[in-house]
Amino acid sequence: MCGVVPASGAVEPPASVERRVAVAGARSSHYGIRPFPTPEEWVRVFEHIRQRFPGSGSVGVWIVGGLRERRGCRLEFPGEAGINPEISFEDSDRHEPYLDAFDRAGIRVYLQVEPGLADPETLIDLVLSRYRHHPSVIGFGIDVEWHREAEYPGWGKRVDDETARRWEVRVRAHKADYRLFLKHWDPRWMPPRYRGDLVFIDDSQELAGLQAMVEEFAAWGRTFAPNPVSFQIGYRSDAGWWCELPDPIGEMGRAICARVSQPCGIVWVDFTLRDVIPPGVLSPPEGGPSPSGDRPDSCREP
């Protein structure tokens, strides 16, 4: 297992750096981690990540609607069939037990969708109408990479100023203090001028090393200052270098946020959580330990 800090071992970096890590947490999707952790395991995951940054809040990205066949969005709860040809539903609700657990634990999450060709404003209404009673829910997120991706392959459709403003108004119609985040790796896909109260998330990967990541993310922060920014990190494509760090979550997060002037968030992706979370916090991966012992696939020696 690479760079796993014990669950009780909070790292104490210099206060001048640490105070810039405003929020920290994890990303969750139904396809990102197997077996899917229990609500109690997710609470422990969030707490472990928060401990890497003393004084930070516990905030994550919780995906409730995934891309379906590159076209529509499948919401992971029951709903009315036929409401929109590009929106489908599941027979049972995947998320209520987790949001209940987050309510009790003081964890906060943005509910995210991968919209495809589905209308984002309809998705906003469906998701927030269902889950806005949870105090753990603080807003809504749209992964722009998957916004009309079937028509704009590979990168999704750019978000113009009026579209961003309209989406934000729709989110805040459900609760005045809700926030909208927009996510992509290229700032040109974000609204060129409109900032409102948006949060901008960068999920870039396939970077040459920690310094390259820091430089790219610092540029993202400058582009969207003074709005809050967050960064999804921990992708397998970068594991060749971050697996060498003693504390990947803490070291990467502190290095990034030290270069960002505004409130800065760190979100570790679910694909590699078992690489960096201590044994006992999460159940073993499907199939048991890897052939190299307890070292996960993405950090396994060649």
Q: What is the pLDDT of residues 206-258, one digit of tens each?
A: 999 999 999 999 999 999 999 999 999 999 999 999 999 999 999 999 999 99
Angle, helices 248-257 vs 210-224, to 10°: value is 40
Domain membership of residue 114 (yes or no) is yes
Instruction: Render pLDDT for 34-92 as a digit per residue (tens, 0 to 9).
Output: 999 999 999 999 999 999 999 999 999 999 999 998 889 999 999 998 888 999 999 99
- State the residue range of the domain holding 172: 15-299
Token pair, residue 71, equals 């076209």
What's residue 4's pLDDT? 76
- Give me the residue label for tokens 């809700």: 178
Q: Is residue 228 part of a domain?
A: yes
Contact yes or no for 25/269 (Cβ under 8 A): no
**What value does the mean pLDDT take over residues 161-174?**
98
Task: Please report which confidence band the pLDDT of residue 298 belongs to, taking 50, 70 and 90 as the band edges.
Answer: low
What pLDDT, in 10s, does the model give residues 106-132? 999 999 999 999 999 999 999 999 999
Beta strands in the chain (DSSP E): 21-28, 57-68, 72-75, 87-89, 108-113, 137-143, 179-184, 199-202, 229-233, 264-268
Q: Would you say residue 294 has pLDDT above 50?
A: no
Question: Is residue 184, in this structure, part of any structural domain at all?
Answer: yes
Q: Does the residue 211 lie in any domain?
A: yes
Q: In total, how many domains does the chain have?
A: 1
Six-digit token pair at 227? 């709005």
- The count of residues in the chain is 302
What is the C-alpha to C-alpha distance for residues 86 and 203, in angstroms, rounded to an integer? 25
Burial environment of residue 280 by CB neighbours within 10 A (0 to 12, 13 to 18, 19 or more): exposed
Indicate whether 5 belongs to any domain.
Answer: no
Residue-level pLDDT at 178: 98
CATH number at residue 204: 3.20.20
In a domain, 3, yes or no: no
Residue range 89-108: average pLDDT?
98
Helix (H, G, I), strand (E, B) or coil at 189: helix
Report pLDDT for 280: 87
At 277-293, the pLDDT tens digits run: 998 899 888 766 543 33
Of the pLDDT bands very low, low, confident and very high (cuts 50, 70, 90), residue 14 is very low
Burial letters for 210-247: b for 16+ Cβ neighbours within 10 Å, e otherwise?
beebbebbbebbeebeebbbbbbbbbbebbebbbebeb
- Residue-level pLDDT at 289: 53
In a 3-state reduction of DSSP, which class is residue 265? strand
- The model's pTM is 0.92
Residues 6+ apart with CB under 8 A from 121: 166, 167, 170
Query: Does the pLDDT at position 7 exceed 70?
Result: no
Give the model's confidence band at 179: pLDDT under 50 very low, under 70 low, under 90 confident, else very high: very high
Q: What are phi and psi of 135, to 5 degrees?
A: -65, -20
10 within some domain? no
Q: pLDDT higher for 4 or 74?
A: 74
Over residues 129-148, the pLDDT tens digits come to 999 999 999 999 999 999 99
**Do the domain assignments include residue 77?**
yes
Res 5: pLDDT = 75
Cβ atoms within 10 Å of 49's Cβ, excluding its own: 24
pLDDT-derived band at 93 (thresholds 50, 70, 90) equals very high
